[in-house]
Amino acid sequence: MILRSLGNLFMALSAVMLALPIVVVCGAALNSGRSMFFPPRDPTLVRFHEFFVSEPVWVEALTNSMIIAFGSAALAVLIAWPVAYGLWARGDKASKFLAGLGSMPFALPPIVFGVGLGFLWTFLGVLGSIWAGVVSHAALFLALPIVTISIGLQSIEKSHLDAAATMGATRAVAFRTVILPQTIPYTVSGFFFALVLSFNEFIVMFFVSASSYSTVTLQIFNSLRNGYTPTMAVAAITFIFVSVVVFSAVARWGDLPRLMGAEPTKS
Amino acid sequence: MSVVSEPSSAVPQMAAAAAAKRLPLARIGIWAVTLFLCLTPFLLVIAISFGQKIEGASWEWAFSFANYQRVFVGANWPEEFTALYLQKLYYSLYYAVIASVLAVITAFPFTYLMTGLSKRAQSAWLVFILSSLSLSEVFIVMGWDVLLSNRSGLPMVFKATGLTQWLKDVGWFETLRDWGLANPRDVKFKTSVFATVLTMAYLVWPYAVILLYPPLSRLDRSMTEAARTMGAGPWTVMRTVVLPAVRLPLMGSVLLLFVFLLGVYVAVTVFAEPAKQTMAVSVYEAVRGNTLNAPFGSAQAVILLLTAGLFLALGQWLTRRNAS
């Protein structure tokens, strides 16, 4: 029993350690002055108003972040579907190669991919356009929906497909009535994983934006040199909040342990 | 994997023919998109790494190994040998190795304990871990910067609680100074190897949990229980049952995190001393920073890429060797 309490202590300690810098940043957001202190002096919520409403720099950065996150996540899911479907339906060497290729940007150091995308968009003459940013993130996070959709497709029971076929369903009908409904939670999870990671991504966006627009993370990095302001901490809170909400939703409506690779529970 | 081929036998022939006509086009499309987006950027970096910088302008295509020579032996070789960029590569590897090993060693017991919880509790922990995982590098660096900064962070806490004075009294303060963790008066963590490695380990810790979660949650708990009933103590169970079963995932996780950490930029620029910066920072300086030498930056990026590829391949090889 000593061992169990030691284990609990270790888990609690890990949680504290993990939360420590986050708590510090969040606390600093309540400062009323221009400098960041912890614990905050004269707690106020003015900084939240600045971030969301009154400071054009931050509002614009937030808008860009949202456009890129939603756009790239949607695009990543659209590209990932046929890749994952091919991998599941055919499972040949070519499909595996394609899936591996799609996961490559995520597996290798992002700074290299960022430099390469910078060159690519320069050649195409679209460096610094926000759409190039959307496509860049879609490529970077393509691996996530490929993985979640693959997990979803593998969970479809063969008997359902056989039943559909016996009852005379065409391929298209079977796809619409059996495959699609069963994989929607996994598709949505993939979308949200890509969304949240895109929201927080820094280095690739740094190279492809070419300073012609900024996202929240870029804006924060730019402000690092001038010292921290509490408004930056508000940005951090917003991002953490979005992550917690999104992953809670995935846990609530999807099967988070399964998505993370735990053995499926027999029901 | 022939799951859909059977229902397709029931598909009327006309629909099948239509699908066959449509399918190659769609397949070519998806191949083209994936190749274009995921491969061309890397190919461009490789191609440009052989290019040349034009003084005062940008760069031109060429085929020379001058950039690689500059990385490995310096621009003026053989008259003069400089290991400046090799040193940067060394620090890239140095930080990444320590931080990835540290992260996996601490994440392993945590994940093992977590997989023993109820599914609900596991979900809650996973939400917490994933939120922390997705949190941007810039926010994490910001948080640790506030915590470690000399004016407001831990050094002030040390001073206020009398810990600094106590360290001085017992003589450990001098040791800290030798390690570069103190100035003549107070302890300081910025800039230091300690702060860099700590932040990098923190950065990948949630990844380590996510990577170790599948093998640990699939671990057959009846095996550990059997060992326990046969009288093995908890440490013996850990050593003889659990660790051998997850040895490979542990090593695989270290490799993956190592590769991830090779490209860390923000944490290194903020926490590492100027003389101990990494190749990722150097890539940035060459491509976007003051020197504006895209081919030279690309050459360094290729070296990072090769290092990453080498270790990923090593991981693959280890997995395959174990499987056979």
* B240-288 per-position pLDDT tens digit: 888 888 888 888 889 989 988 998 888 998 888 888 888 888 888 888 8
- Residue A124 has, within 13 A of its CA and on its CB side, a CA count of 18
In a domain, B60, yes or no: no
User: Is residue B73 one of the residues assigned to a domain?
Assistant: no
Task: For residue range A81-96, list pLDDT tens digits in order.
Answer: 999 998 888 888 888 8
Residue A252 lies in a domain: yes
| Residue B113 sits in the same domain as residue B210 | yes
Of the candidates B119, B142, B202, the beta carbon closest to that of A265 is on B119
| Position B280 in a domain | yes
How confident is the prediction for chain A on average, in pLDDT? 84
Q: A157-210: per-residue pLDDT in tens?
A: 778 888 888 888 887 888 888 888 888 888 988 898 899 889 889 999 999 988
- What does the DSSP assignment read for A167-189? TT--HHHHIIIIIHHHHHHHHHH
Chain B residues whose beta carbon lies within 8 Å of the beta carbon of residue A131: none
> pLDDT at position B21, please?
52
- State whether B145 and B7 are in the same domain: no
What proportion of chain B, given as a percentage, has pLDDT over 90?
A: 19
* Whole-number pLDDT of residue A264: 58
B152-172 pLDDT per residue, tens? 677 777 777 777 777 777 777
For residue A195, is it within any domain? yes
Q: Check whether B315 has a pLDDT greater than 70.
A: yes
CA dihedral angle for residue B248, residue B114, residue B146, residue B92, rounded to 10 degrees: 0
Q: A225 lies in which domain range?
A: 44-156+186-259
Q: Is residue A63 part of a domain?
A: yes
Flag whether pLDDT at A147 surpasses 80: yes
CB contact under 8 A, A232 and B127: no
The pLDDT value given to residue B16: 47
Is A16 or B183 the better-scoring residue by pLDDT? A16
Confirm if A83 and B30 have CB atoms less than 8 A apart: yes
Q: Is the residue at A54 inside a domain? A: yes
Residues B48, B53, B56: CA angle, nearest 5 degrees: 140
Q: Please check whether residue B27 lies inside any domain of the structure.
A: yes
Tell me, yes or no, whether B225 lies in a domain.
yes
Structure confidence at residue B226 as a pLDDT band (50, 70, 90): confident
**CB atoms B260 and A38 under 8 Å:** no
pLDDT of residue A267: 35
Q: Give yes or no: residues B197 and B304 share one domain.
A: yes
Confidence of residue B8 (pLDDT cuts 50, 70, 90): very low
Whether residue A168 lies inside any domain: the answer is: no
Indicate if B121 and B241 belong to the same structural domain: yes
Number of domains in chain B: 2
In which domain, by residue range, is B26 found?
1-43
| CA–CA min distance B262, chain A (Å) | 6
Residue B303 lies in a domain: yes
Taking contacts as CB-CB distances below 8 angstroms, the residues of chain A near B259 are 107-109
Residues B30 and B91 in one domain: no
> How far, in Å, CA of B38 to CA of A112, rounded?
12
Chain mean pLDDT for chain B? 81
Q: What total of structural domains would you count in chain A?
A: 1
A164 domain residue, yes or no: no
Are residues B130 and B35 part of one domain? no
ipTM of the complex in this document: 0.85
SS3 B182: strand
Q: Find residues 40-59 of chain B whose CB sits inside 8 Å of chain A.
A: 40-45, 48
Q: β-strands B52-53, B59-60: how paired? A: antiparallel
CATH number at residue A93: 1.10.3720.10
